[in-house]
Chain A
């Protein structure tokens, strides 16, 4: 149950990519997706027969790489929402650029957008430096203020004579199908700039990102680098607008980089993984939108990035939700096994080690569990070869009537656990000055994590003791080998 509680938000998340399939299953589109057509489309996509497909696929992949690279810095420097704000803030710049050139001229749009982005950053810095407004509110102010101006200008443009066929709407969500060769060149240039910048400033960026004031003290122009990073971020956002649009541009920056941060620790692999994930999402998104016909590319790219993120979250090697669940289950079984073995030992001990076998009934009452549970625990031990189970003579068919005996391996294991427990109790009372009635609880936990090395260390500290604080014998190494406790 706790596992479910812990992963349920993730389930909600998992629905994200699943739900995106809903529209494709819509009745109206099913007839369009006849089998041969789908395959025809798949081959057409992969053979890159159409120029438009070439451009879109290449553009999406390139923008994925660019955003992945810059995004790594954005996420590690906690600028994620800054990217979002910047992408909204360029909108008035685009509108002004459009008015200026009276058409969708790339250069004019770029200049306008860069200027607006720069103005947005300046406003943000101003608000944070000279007023009491906190960062989140300042971001909200710049974001919505600039965006509002942008919307006003856009709606104004649409009423002007040259604006009716502008297609400026596409900047809000992107329109990958309208991607032109010039756009592609723009993306390529941005990638080149980003690549060169990272290549030349890699070490410096690493230091400034880690410790801003230290890097200034050793003469690295930290502020300058920061501004260049912002500028490149603005370029990145602007060049991705045609594909993904103003509102979702930040997703391409954030999601691949966050996914990469779950996987790797070092900056250069981080950059590579993030770029690769961005490219993969870009390609897959353009492929899906080609397949689905009329599905917007931008949102699909974002959804695929999210899908990748969720799978990584669940399946990554050490901390993934599913992997963690698997290891946790394995661990639970081990601890349960150890506790059962310990109970068997304690029963044997209560008979002064006169018998070699114990009855299941005894184990049941010792462990305080019901018969079904107890049988399950015993089966665990039998399966791992620690215990052998034999039916008792008088009534072999009755449950709970079998007898158990430890195999040599089981005996050794049981001795080890008991030994861990008692040594720890002794350590707590003698060294950490715990009251003897407090140590049992703690030893119940620690016995499962004590390693061989620690045990040796404890023995040395306690000078090879024989008895625990409650006066019980601590099984020694020879006892383990002999297969029985030596009575002194």
Chain B
């Protein structure tokens, strides 16, 4: 069953942190079932884009739609794998607890975890080869294992969209290959995946779509069309100075937005 809406639609999105623009006028429409890599230099707003889609950051302008709905209602369709640094690895939870958290969204306010939920979590852990570690505390795992646990949690969510922020950071080569093959199989099940990635060398074999981002969208499309010397140069070749300067000056004056909303 195909939805008439795009899984993720971003229109003229502008986001500022501390009055400094990070994303500026980004337009994006992602097709269902694509495996998208988000690529750009440090501070290009990759994570911010993901966070805005997840409704963790509210945009200064423009909007995000998920299956045609606003992000507040839409995020329940999204499975999110956070950046490694944002997780508290000392937290007293076991691997199984974390994966079960993926089922919480379906339980409502007072629901209890059922046998089916447990079986589901079991299967997801099996898929990522982490079943033997189910009772370990999450801090006692290697980087690749930790990443796989979160992947299992995302699988347990049974979402149709998955967002991942640098899933390969601090992960050994073997785990990386394993994760990629899981991602590909997820794509074959019709899921839409958006992955922030920093390694240009592997991007070409991992993804089928690519979003080049450097404060604004440089290009988005199938990898053969976008992965060109010219466009990559543009992405990594610094910013339009006047452009970013003016954008940050405008963002420093919130009064402009206020006046705009009045008139």
Contact = CB atoms under 8 A, between A and B. Distances in A.
A and B touch in the complex (CB under 8 A): yes
Given A432-B243, A449-B253, A454-B246, A332 B258 contact: yes
Contact of A441 (B12, B253, B262): B12
Nearest to B61: A441
Given A427-B242, A434-B25, A339 B259 contact: yes
A432 B253 contact: no
Contact of B263 (A369, A434, A442, A449): A369
B219 to A, nearest CB: 10
A317 B217 CA distance: 39
Interface string A442-469: 1011101110001001100100000000
A367 interface: yes
A432 B216 contact: yes
A331 B253 contact: yes
A450 B246 contact: yes
Contacts, number: 60
B220 to A, nearest CB: 13
A434 B262 CA distance: 26
A156 interface: no
A141 to B, nearest CB: 15
Interface in A16-74: none
A101 B253 CA distance: 64
A438 B25 contact: yes
B90 interface: yes
A335 B61 contact: no
Interface size class of A (residues with CB under 8 A): 20 to 34
A400 to B, nearest CB: 17
B260 interface: yes
Nearest to B62: A441
Given A335-B259, A368-B263, A446 B90 contact: no
Given A438-B25, A444-B260, A457 B242 contact: yes
A132 B240 CA distance: 46
A328 B255 contact: yes
The B interface is mostly helix, strand or loop, or mixed, namely: helix
A182 interface: no
A448 B256 contact: yes
Contacts of A438: 12, 25, 27
Interface string A385-427: 0000000000000000000000000000000000000001001
A367 B262 CA distance: 10
A339 B263 contact: yes
A442 B246 CA distance: 11
A367 B242 contact: no
Interface in B236-252: 240, 242-243, 245-247, 249-250
A445 B216 contact: no
Contacts of A427: 242-243
B250 A431 contact: no
B255 A445 contact: no
Contacts of A442: 25
Contacts of B258: 332
A338 to B, nearest CB: 9
Interface string A298-335: 00000000000000000000000000000010011001
B263 A445 contact: no
A332 B261 CA distance: 12
Interface of B: 12, 25, 27, 61, 90, 139, 216, 240, 242-243, 245-247, 249-250, 253-260, 262-263
Given A331-B255, A434-B25, A457-B242, 6 more contacts: A132-B90, A332-B259, A339-B259, A339-B263, A427-B242, A448-B250
- In the A-B complex, the 9 residue pairs with the smallest Cβ-Cβ separation, listed nearest first, are A449-B249, A332-B255, A445-B250, A331-B255, A335-B259, A445-B256, A449-B250, A446-B246, A132-B90
6 contacts: A335-B253, A424-B246, A431-B243, A448-B256, A449-B256, A454-B245
